[in-house]
A and B are shown apart, each in its own frame.
Chain A
Amino acid sequence: MSKQVPETIKKQVKRSFNSKEVKKEKNEKRMKLLKEIQTKAFKRAEKYEKEYLEQEQKLVELKQKALKEGSFYREPEPKLAFIIRIRGIVGVPPKPRKILQLLRLRRIYSGVFIRLNKSSLRMLHFIDPYVTWGYPDVETVRALIYKRGHARVNHQRKIIDSNEMIYDKLQKYDIVCMEDLVHEIFTVGKNFKHANSFLWAFKLKPPVGGFSTVKKSFVNKGEHGNREQYINTLVKKMI
Chain B
Amino acid sequence: MTTQQLRPIVSVFPIKGKVKTIKQVPLPSVFSAPIRPDVVRFVHTNMAKNNRQAHAVSTTAGEQTSATSWGTGRAVARIPRVKGSGTGRSGQAAFGNMCRGGRMYAPKKVWRKWHRKINTNQKRYAVCSAIAATAVTPLVMSRGHRVNKLPELPLVVSDQLQSLTKTRQAVKFLKFIGAYRDVEKVIRTKKTRVGQGKYRNRRHVLRKGPMVVYARNLGIKKAFRNIPGVETASVYTLNLLKLAPGSQMGRFIIWTESAFKLLEDIYGSWEKPSKFKSGFYLPRPVMVNTDVERIIKSDQVQTVLRNRRPRSRKYGKKIQRADPYEDMSVMVKLNPYYKTKLQKQKELEEKNKKERKEIVDKSRKEYEDWLYFSEEEEEEEEEEEEEGSDEDREIEVLSDEN
Contact = CB atoms under 8 A, between A and B. Distances in A.
Interface string B313-334: 0110011110111000011011
Interface string B286-300: 000000001001110
Contact of A158 (B297, B315, B337): B315
Nearest to B299: A11
B321 A12 contact: no
Q: Which secondary structure dominates chain A's binding surface?
A: helix
B340 interface: yes
B341 interface: yes
B308 A17 contact: yes
Interface string A10-33: 011001010000000000000000
A147 B299 contact: no
Interface in A131-148: 143, 146-147
A160 B337 CA distance: 17
B312 interface: yes
Interface string A164-180: 11000000000001110
A78 to B, nearest CB: 25
Contacts of B237: none
A235 to B, nearest CB: 13
A220 interface: no
B319 A179 contact: no
Contacts of B335: 41, 45, 146, 177-179
B283 to A, nearest CB: 30
A76 to B, nearest CB: 27
A169 to B, nearest CB: 11
B71 interface: no
A45 B325 contact: no
Contact of B341 (A49, A147, A159, A177): A49
Nearest to B325: A147
A12 B335 CA distance: 43
B107 interface: no
A163 interface: yes
A162 B334 contact: yes
A154 B337 CA distance: 29
B336 A41 contact: yes
B347 to A, nearest CB: 13
A153 B299 CA distance: 36
A8 interface: yes
Contact of A147 (B298, B320, B323): B323
A54 interface: no
A159 B319 contact: yes
Interface in B324-359: 324-325, 330-331, 333-338, 340-341
A42 B320 CA distance: 24
B341 to A, nearest CB: 6
Nearest to A160: B334
A146 B336 contact: no
A159 B312 CA distance: 15
B302 A45 contact: no
Contact of B297 (A12, A46, A49, A178): A12
A158 B294 CA distance: 40
Contact of B331 (A41, A42, A146, A156): A146
Given A17-B308, A143-B325, A179 B337 contact: yes
Contacts of B307: 17
B292 to A, nearest CB: 13
B158 to A, nearest CB: 40
Query: Which interface residue of A39, A143, A161 has the most chain B CB atoms within 10 A?
Result: A161
A217 interface: no
A159 B338 CA distance: 20
A41 to B, nearest CB: 5
Contacts of B294: 8
A164 B324 CA distance: 16
B325 A8 contact: no
B297 A11 contact: yes
A38 interface: yes
A15 B340 contact: no
B333 A42 contact: no
Nearest to B297: A8
Nearest to A181: B334
A226 B323 CA distance: 29
Given A11-B297, A146-B331, A154-B315, A45 B321 contact: no
A154 B321 contact: no
Query: Which interface residue of B314, B320, B330 has the most chain A CB atoms within 10 A?
Result: B314
A204 to B, nearest CB: 14
Interface string B194-228: 00000000000000000000000000000000000
A12 B297 CA distance: 7
Contact of A42 (B312, B321, B324, B336): B336
Ranked nearest first, the 7 interchain pairs of A and B with the lowest CB-CB distance are A45-B337, A42-B336, A161-B321, A178-B334, A8-B297, A146-B324, A161-B319
Interface of A: 8, 11-12, 15, 17, 38-39, 41-42, 45-46, 49, 143, 146-147, 153-154, 156, 158-165, 177-179
22 contacts: A8-B298, A11-B302, A12-B297, A15-B302, A38-B336, A39-B336, A41-B335, A41-B337, A42-B336, A42-B337, A42-B340, A45-B335, A49-B337, A146-B325, A146-B334, A147-B324, A158-B319, A162-B333, A164-B314, A177-B335, A178-B335, A179-B335
Given A42-B337, A45-B337, 10 more contacts: A8-B297, A41-B336, A45-B336, A46-B340, A143-B325, A146-B324, A146-B325, A160-B334, A162-B333, A177-B335
